Amino acid sequence: AQTVTQSQPEMSVQEAETVTLSCTYDTSENNYYLFWYKQPPSRQMILVIRQEAYKQQNATENRFSVNFQKAAKSFSLKISDSQLGDTAMYFCAYIADSNYQLIWGAGTKLIIKP
Amino acid sequence: EAGVTQFPSHSVIEKGQTVTLRCDPISGHDNLYWYRRVMGKEIKFLLHFVKESKQDESGMPNNRFLAERTGGTYSTLKVQPAELEDSGVYFCASTLAGLSEQFFGPGTRLTVL
C-alpha cells in the first residue's frame, strides 16, 4: 500500500531560524513524484516544492529545499531563514504515474514565532 | 488568470439533507480532482475526472456521493442524504496533465448536524 507519514504533528521555531519537517513514504512504484504543499490559515493549498523520483538532485525553491533519500523513502523539507508568513500546515504528498491520485500525510502544523 | 474556485465556502446542514458542492477549475484544465479532509485525519482522494469522464472514483466513500462534470468544465459533488461522518473540508484541484502540479481551491467546509 502507498502511504505517507509525517511524524511531527506540530513544530514551533523562532523567526529566522531553520526548521526541517520530516516525511517518509512507502511505495513499490518506480516512477513517482513527491510534493510539499502549504496551507496557511486562509486555507488555500499552495505547492511549495516538487521532486521527481528519478532525479537524484534535491529540489530547491528559494528558502525551501528538500532532502530526498530514495532508498530510505524519506523526503524532508528544510525551511531556511523562516518568516512569519511560513506559519501554516505543511503536507507531504506522493503521486505515482500508475494512478494520478495524491496520497497525503497527516500534516505538520508549523508556527513561526516573532 | 482565475484560480480554482469552490462554492459555497461553508455549508451547515442537518443529517438527512442534501448538499451540492461546486468546483470551477482553472480554464483549460482537463483534470479535476476531489479530495476530503475529515477532522483530524489525512486528506483523502475521492475521485478524478478527465474532461467529463470519471477516470478514477475509487475514493468515493459510498453511493450517497455523486460527482458530475457536465461538459468537462465545472464539477459538482452531491451528498444525499448527508450523514454526520460526512463533515469535513472538501477540496477541489485541477491540473493540465496527470502528474503536473495540482492547483487547489479554497475548499468547502461542510458541517452536518
Interface test with B, best of A100, A102, A103, A104 (most B CBs within 10 A): A100
How far is it, in rounded angstroms, from Cα A74 to Cα A56? Answer: 13
Interface test with A, best of B33, B51, B104, B109 (most A CBs within 10 A): B104
Bridge partners (DSSP) of residue B43 are: B37
CB distance from B16 to chain A under 8 Å? Answer: no
Nearest-Cα distance to chain A for B18, in Å, is 24
Residues of chain A whose pLDDT is less than 50?
A: none
Contact A101 B99 (CB under 8 A): no
Contact, B36 vs B60, CB < 8 A?
Answer: no
Q: Residue B50 — pLDDT band, cuts 50, 70, 90?
A: very high
Contact, B94 vs B102, CB < 8 A?
Answer: yes
Question: Which of B45, B103, B104 is closest, CB to CB, to A101?
Answer: B45
Q: Does the pLDDT of residue B27 top 90, yes or no?
A: yes
Residue of B35, B6, B31 lying closest to B94 (CA atoms)? B31
- Residues with Cβ within 8 Å of residue B62, at least 6 apart in sequence: none
A85 burial via Cβ count (<10 Å: 0-12, 13-18, 19+):
exposed
Backbone angles phi, psi at B49, to 5 degrees: -105, 140
What was the pLDDT predicted at A43? 72
Q: Residue B2 — pLDDT band, cuts 50, 70, 90?
A: confident
- The sign of the dihedral angle between the CA atoms of B98, A22, B34, A86 is negative
Alpha helix segments (H runs only) across chain A: none
Q: A36 to chain B: nearest residue by CA?
A: B101
What was the pLDDT predicted at A100? 83
What was the pLDDT predicted at B1? 64
Q: Residue B13 — pLDDT band, cuts 50, 70, 90?
A: very high
Contact B35 A102 (CB under 8 A): yes
Contact A101 B42 (CB under 8 A): no
Bridge partners (DSSP) of residue A101 are: none
User: Cell 468546483 maps to which residue?
Assistant: B23
Mean pLDDT lowest among A104-108, B47-51, B57-61, B70-74: B70-74
> What grid cell was written down for A4?
505517507
Contact, A97 vs B98, CB < 8 A?
Answer: yes
